[in-house]
Structure 1
Amino acid sequence: MILGVIADDFTGATDVASMLVRAGMRTVQLIGVPHDDAAPSADALVIALKSRTVPAAQAVTESLAALRWLQRAGARQFYFKYCSTFDSTPAGNIGPVAEALLEALDADFAIACPAFPENGRTVFRGHLFVGDQLLSDSGMRDHPLTPMTDANLVRVLQAQSRAAVGLVRHDIVAAGAEAVRGRFDELRADGVRLAVADAIADADLRVLAEACAGLPLITAGSGVALGLPSVYAARGWLRPDAAAASLPAVGGHAAVVSGSCSTATNAQVRHWLEAGRPAFRIDARALAAGEPVAAQALDFAAARLPHEAALVYATASPEDVKAVQAALGAERAGALVEECLAEVAASLVHAGVRRLVVAGGETSGAVVQALGVRVLRIGATIAPGVPWTQAEGRPLLLALKSGNFGAADFFSRALAQVA
């Protein structure tokens, strides 16, 4: 094994795994830290945690456990993967986890770069853009768990970090890997341990990957992973595999489960509904009142499975989300919806669903845990950052989609790809 990745949520794990597979790295995703030291055969192993929104101390503990397992498995370099919208709170978890990993590796420096230009996430002069908007002007300002109201990543990361946070500006990145390494040395001399790195195009990500080749740790979204396979190949560590993304075909039924309330997922749900396709909406208030919502959703979907895929969704507008949170509390509302969707997904698989699309990081985590999936083989990309995956040893394909990713027709496009 070459690369060990620690991802702070389940869809983020498949996102970075997809980047590696596209470039010929055989990649396996593990759900949580394995209970034994038996490592699957792969060029890269990605441990998917559910640590993005837990207390910072818990995120650090879980991330260090993942690091220790990957060290025992023989990884040569490590990668802390977070969201391309830098989802976090003033208390963490990106800064605390990154600093803890640096200390555990006896390392003195790492970059922080959530850029993913292919999906419209770019960083310039330390500010994160989502498309043409600053992060703070995008739909992420209304995220129910981690609202992002500041686009200045140096400022955001500094609020979470003990040591100084610096910046690698785009003019330096554009000058190439040697110039970037020179900037790393300058920052180290100033006591900087974490530095936000600008990137506005894939070429910048490749420069950063080359510049970071000698660092024990990279912290980033999935974008920087785009450049790593070629770096490893140049070092003689990797022989790219053209069949790295191949997965077996499966039969059975198909379904979609959506819990994300992001702008992108709202558009995907609208597209499904406007096409006249069957859908059942989960109402958090009905769940709180004790109504058998999960059973109703399953009955609705199961009646249609022999003929067409159904969507079961809790996706709602920011206004609706705020109203539900005001009535039930944000934590309770989220937990009720997650548990319901996980129960529905597990029941659908029991009823014969073998191709399941899941939208939302928290929802994907709950669904995968309910299904008892521990290992995922990474397959072909559906949309940037979202591959099909196969549950190891089972005829079950899962597409775990970050809420922010995918075009409006993502659900139907994903199912058509494995029809």
Structure 2
Amino acid sequence: MKSFVSVVAVAAAALLASTSVHAADVEVVHWWTSGGEQAAVSVFAQEFDATGDHWVDGAIALGETARATIMQRALGGDPPDAAQFNPGRQYEELIAAGLLLDLTPLAEKEGWDKIIRPDSLKAPCQIDGKWWCVPVNLHLQNWAWASIPAFTKAGLEVPTDWDTYLADLPKLKEAGVIPFAVGGDGGGWQISLLANQLILSQLGAASVEKIWKDKDLDLAGGPEVLKAFTTLKTLGEYADDGSPNRSWADTASLVIKGDAALQVMGDWAQGEFQVAGQKPGVDYACLLGPLSPDPQNVRGGGDIFVFFKQGDPDVERAQLSLASLMLSPAVQAKFNTAKGSAPVRDDVDMSLANDCMKKALTVLAKPGALVPDQNIWRNEAFATAQNAIFSDLIYNKATTPESAQAQFVELLKNAE
């Protein structure tokens, strides 16, 4: 065995020397730190290390913190080699400053424009006719995750609509179960995601676009949106005392253990259930919509990676190698199965997908089913302000749905 290894090592060394190619370290900054997320990102790391280059992990908890660190380092002249963002306007400053590696030659060679879908996911990576980022998944946000044992303990069936669930809240509390699980850390993005999904499930896709894209102030200030705000306020009244400073992953853990009944969270939560060895339909229920008996829409965002100019040809070669690997069918299948998300190309073998993912893929296949995330239309400053409004509504007893709605309308009025 030793002689075989030495022969391989000598051959590899000779090949590197003959082609003047040197293995490179690629530092990748991301915010995937929960158990399910680590299982998914390890797919990228292991597959990349197998090429001979090396993934240097730069995990930073919380997306807001990670993005702030990335921007500070990049604008300060010390960027990582690759970094995670969400598709949208979060990284437009980096493009304008000329800090990102132009991926257009690789994209044209591999036909990214033809294989990546949907258009709303690849569009933020194509600016002025050039490719600046690599989409790696399509995250579907409008899910509720319910503990079957928690509802059974309260003598209840898992609900399939909001009216039934809201009526169940007192009974769940009486049974000693946290009726509604939600976390408030990270600047309130979890609360904002919840509010956005309430509006989608109660008003529909057309209204979502009119509000966040077209800034329809009459609709944003109307009775339908007020109903969603009122529901959000009610849910907050049935959250537990530990909610304000809790992460989404710790919140999902409460549902997994049966201590809490239900959480509204994107499909990345599915990774936590998988790591815990739980099965959909047995231990937990995945409710698309969320809580819609016949869901017609999926609200999607996702994750992308940008690559920073470094001035080192070996690093640039390795960066392009990683970008290509992330989109390969085999890696897309492994990564997204672990992550709980949908692949960005439809020629991927998803035979390992569980019932939850299959449900989402079925709806996603319908024309016009995908509703873009707000990041496509509004910038980071808007998201931060929106998070604060929704967090104040759910955690501040003195804040009424009417006053929060008025703040939301004013924010939209001045949004960029």
TM-score by length of 1: 0.32
Normalized per residue, the structure richer in helix is: 2
Higher RCO by CA contacts (8 Å cutoff, separation 6 or greater):
2
TM-score by length of 2: 0.32
Question: Which of structures 1 and 2 has the bigger CA Rg?
Answer: 2
